[in-house]
Structure 1
Amino acid sequence: MFESETERKEKDSESTIGAEDGLLAAQQRRIHLTAPLSQDKAPSPTTATPSPPVAYPPLDEDGRLDPSAFQKLPFRFDTGIALFAKRAPRPFPPPYLSPPSGSFSDPLSTHDRSRDRRRAYVDGHLIQGLTNGDDAVFASDYFICANDGVGAWSTRPRGHAGLWARLILHFWATAIFEDAARQGASYRPTPVAYLQRAYEQTIEATGPPNDWQGTTTAAGAQLHYRQVQAKDRNSGDSGSGNPGSARAGAGASPGADADADGAAVEPLLYVTNLGDSQVMVVRPSTREMVYKSTEQWHWFDCPRQLGTNSPDTPADCAVVDEVPIREGDVVLAMSDGVIDNLWGHEIVEKVCESLERWRAGEGRGRGRGLGTGLGRRGDGRDDDEVHDDDDHGMMGFVAEELMEAAKAVAVDPFAESPFMEHAIEEGLASGGGKLDDISVVAAICRRNQG
């Protein structure tokens, strides 16, 4: 099976509506490595080759990854999440989420509220991230991503796109955090290797005897840094380049610090994309888009995707862009529920407008609840440690406003939308927005203190 988005939309109306998967709201915590990152190996087409052993570190009481796996980097993200699901996500099946003791009900067809907030596990470890319909998202100090599972799998007896999207995310984030902790100060990201490893581990985790099928797109941005000579700090371009270029609008960050060797450090994004989810960088200081990833398609409405029966693999198809950014830039990881309903200039305007409204005092206390925006801090402080004049919740507010703008178009049968425009260009009758899961992770680049 290799499904297009149009086939998915037609079949979704007949699919079983499941229970919400447990939404995991706590921020990631401290970890320490017990083993190095294993060498990636390509699976044999004829034999079942186990994926590389996972060097799972000890986890805290919440079982979540922690940015302290990284040597303290010069820059970090403050993040927020907003989610809208066109239907409640299907609960994860056993062995990822076992039915309550004594229950013989089918977790894929029976809505049991007792399972709504039960945690999901793989190989005995908490599955990282959040599920939103068939989407999955992850946010931390140094990595954000949005995966979009192909919902047509929900009509198949062993299909579960939401599980595939979440497992790819889980293994992807885990590979990044493990490698960063292993290498320490010498750490340099290898983005394709991380996603390839996640893909292989997801194949193994969903293979026999579990045998769960699905496909998903993947889009993520990892924050790192680059060194430039101090004399070149302000010699970069002005940010008026082509937004589709990986180095457009980069320049050097104003005020970058020089180290003992006279080199300045500036934030650098490693953007990895496969499919039609998108990473975008917005520069509020100039109200412009300075970068967006390029969507990948087999044909209209059928994106590249990882999973069952798909020919696509990260090693062959993933695209990595190195994107120099600046402090204060906003990085967005979005499922196609956003970009199918909002044009790029509308996204830029909504982000800049939301920041201005927040700084004018609007939205305080909002942007903290799942489904309407989840504000997260990148410095590890809890809510009771943050003062009212802090920016805690700002990115949650930005994400929420962007999600609501996309949702307003998605549910309007008379709206004009990018999806409608693209469909008409292909000679297909289409009108209104595209009702889909809408997932937004918004992150602002900050300088780490100390």
Structure 2
Amino acid sequence: MGAQTPVTTSTSTNTRPHLQLYLHRIDRLRDREENWLPYALPKGHARPGRGDEDKVTSVLLSIIYHHAPLPAVVAASPAPDRDGGGNAASDGLVPETTLPVRNGLCAVRQENPATIPASVPESPSGSFSDPLSTHHQSRDKRAFVGGELIRGWTNGDDAVYASDYFICANDGVGAWSMRPRGHAGLWSRLILHFWVAAMQEDITQPRSPGQEYRPDPVKYLQAAYERTLKATSGPSDCQGTTTAAGAQLFYKGDAYDSEAAVPLLYATNLGDGQVMVVRPSIQEMIYKTTEQWHWFDCPRQLGTNSLDTPNDNAVVDLIELEEGDIVLAMSDGVIDNLWEHEIVENVTRSVRRWENGEGGSADGPRYGGANGGMTFVAEELMTAAKVIAQDPFAESPFMEHAVEEGLPMEGGKLDDISVVAALCRRNI
């Protein structure tokens, strides 16, 4: 993210945290099949003109992201068998169902992020029965914090996540790359990681009879903010700020009655990322979050020296979904280059093309973008944003905003481009 940070000073001289991120070269779209869950909870953007039940709603997800215009590389943590990393099928929250999902991942990068020192080595195992007795954490090519794999994926300064019930796109403020201890990509990833962790802890905590779980995304984001401050302070000093945009799937009504349960989306935003809901059946956008700014190109942000906090500044909206709705979590690399109607047209067109047999092989019926279509939807949206971002003569929302501020500018905005696309579908 090429945005500004509202702070300019720092006095700490501590070293960077004992965390580790490695770059892995990716030259293909990677699909991974996961077991999918209903609701996954215990009782779950032409130019101008300008429970435990298997029977409620489920979501199909795809992640596509782009980091400016050069070689294809992505910092990614391979999916573990348990907690952390990317898309854990159920995150250990509820029993698995049989509905599969495929996630797509692709990226191109402009430059490598700052290097983070290796994790603190662990003592060798004292038993041959330990299957990891020859393994050293300092040689592990995955990112750890507090002994736990960091959830999600990193794309430049962006971080994205998708699980059975939650999607997220955080955008680290790139200006921190000019600071000696600045690492916006780490901040966006840690906020994401701890956001999901706090959510999981609340979902799985014991409750008395009659006491029902209700999502509280701002509470989870506040906890994530506080934990990230702690993890990046003291001897682990590392500076940065990030925006946050996430959507948690829940329901209203009777989870035990598939007809009565209505999918309910908790959309949370702080900064200039965006959650958008597109209804392809009527080719309309039915919801989007509102961008939050201090001034032009300086969004509200969480982190070092910023006065913004989730409790004070995050906004949550509740949106009733219908089967076939597509939920998007996007960094500003998308919405700075594509207008709202372009996003809707692109998503709707991609769904129709998928239904007509384009976009690759399907795992089953292709209606509405099911069985692999979200990968195609996200990839097409990312490609459209990338075309404008790389065109110095294009008309773009970012250019329009700059002109409104009296700044001479033309063309798109080169930035990290991250998209998570999710399809709402009833699990029969």
Q: TM-score, normalised by structure 2?
A: 0.72
Q: 2:292 matched to which residue of 1?
A: 296
Q: CA RMSD in A?
A: 3.4
Paired AA for residue 190 in structure 1 = D
Match of 2:373 in 1: 394
State the match for 2:3 in structure 1. Answer: 5
Which residue of 195, 198, 202 corresponds with 1:172?
Answer: 195
1:174 deviation in Å? Answer: 1.4
Q: What CA distance in whole angstroms lies between the structure 1 residues aligned with 2:100 and 2:252?
A: 16
Pairs within 5 Å for 1:20-169: 20=23, 60=81, 63-64=84-85, 65-67=88-90, 69-71=92-94, 80=103, 84-90=107-113, 93-95=116-118, 118-169=141-192
Q: Identify which range, 88-97 or 410-419, moves more after superposition.
A: 88-97
User: Which structure 1 residue ranges, 5 or more long, are not aligned?
Assistant: 9-17, 31-58, 99-114, 229-256, 367-385
The separation in 1 between residues aligned to 2:173 and 2:253, in whole angstroms, is 40
Compared with structure 1, are the counterparts of its residues 310 and 73 closer, same or farther at alpha carbon in structure 2 (3 Å cutoff)?
farther
Give the match for residue 321 of structure 2: 325
Residues 35-434 of structure 1 aligned to structure 2 (within 5 Å): 60=81, 63-64=84-85, 65-67=88-90, 69-71=92-94, 80=103, 84-90=107-113, 93-95=116-118, 118-182=141-205, 186-227=212-253, 259=257, 264-365=260-361, 386=363, 391-434=370-413
Q: CA deviation at 1:352?
A: 0.5
Unaligned runs of 5+ residues in structure 2 are: 7-20, 37-79, 122-137
2:425 corresponds to: 446
Output one character per residue of 1:29-61: Cα deviation in whole Å (capped at 9) or x when no partner: 89xxxxxxxxxxxxxxxxxxxxxxxxxxxx835
Measure the CA separation in 2 of the matches of 1:25 and 1:96.
29
| Number of aligned residues | 344
Contact 1:89 1:131 in 2 (8 A): no
Q: What is the DSSP-based 3-state SS (H/G/I as helix, E as strand, rest coil) of the residue aligned with 2:409?
A: coil
Map Cα deviations across residues 105-137 of structure 1 (whole Å, 9 max, x no partner): xxxxxxxxxx99921110111100000010000
Quote the Cα distance in structure 2 between the aligned partners of 1:355 and 1:116.
42
**More divergent stretch after superposition (181-190 vs 393-402):** 181-190
Residues 27 and 140, structure 1, Cα contact 8 Å, conserved in 2: no
What SS does structure 1 have at the residue aligned with 2:423?
Answer: strand
- Measured against aligned partners, the alpha-carbon deviations of 1:212-254 in whole angstroms (never above 9, x if no partner) come to 00000000000000128xxxxxxxxxxxxxxxxxxxxxxxxxx
TM-superposition CA deviations, 1:183-215 (whole Å, max 9, x none): 578221111110000000101111110100000
Q: How many Å separate the matches in 1 of 2:106 and 2:395?
A: 22
> Residue 125 and residue 7 in structure 1: after superposition, are their counterparts in 2 closer, same or farther (change >3 A)?
closer
When structure 1 is superposed on structure 2, of 413-422 and 84-93 the one drifting more is: 84-93
Give the share of equivalent positions with the same residue, in percent. Answer: 59
Q: Check the 8 A contact 1:282/1:289 in 2, yes or no.
A: yes
Q: Which residue does 1:14 correspond to in 2?
A: none
Give the drift of 1:437. 0.2
8 Å CA contact 1:79, 1:443 repeated in 2: no
Q: Deviations over 1:67-96 (max 9, x none)?
A: 26444799x996745554552442651255
1:349 match: secondary structure: helix
Change (3 A) 1:63 1:131: closer
Assess, with a 3 A threshold, how the Cα gap between structure 1 residues 343 and 337 changes in structure 2: closer, same or farther. same
Q: Is the 8 A contact 1:4 1:302 kept in 2?
A: no
Ranges of 4+ aligned residues in structure 1 off by more than 6 Å? 21-25, 27-30
| 3-state SS, counterpart of residue 181 of structure 2 | coil
| Separation of aligned partners in 1, 2:398 and 2:378 | 21
Distance change >3 Å, CA 429–CA 421, structure 1 → 2 = same
When residues 118 and 258 of structure 1 are mapped into structure 2, their CA distance, relative to the original with a 3 A threshold, is closer
User: Could you tell me which amino acid in structure 1 is paired with residue 379 of structure 2?
Assistant: E
1:256-294 Cα shifts (integer Å, max 9, x gaps): x9849xx82100000110000000000001000000000
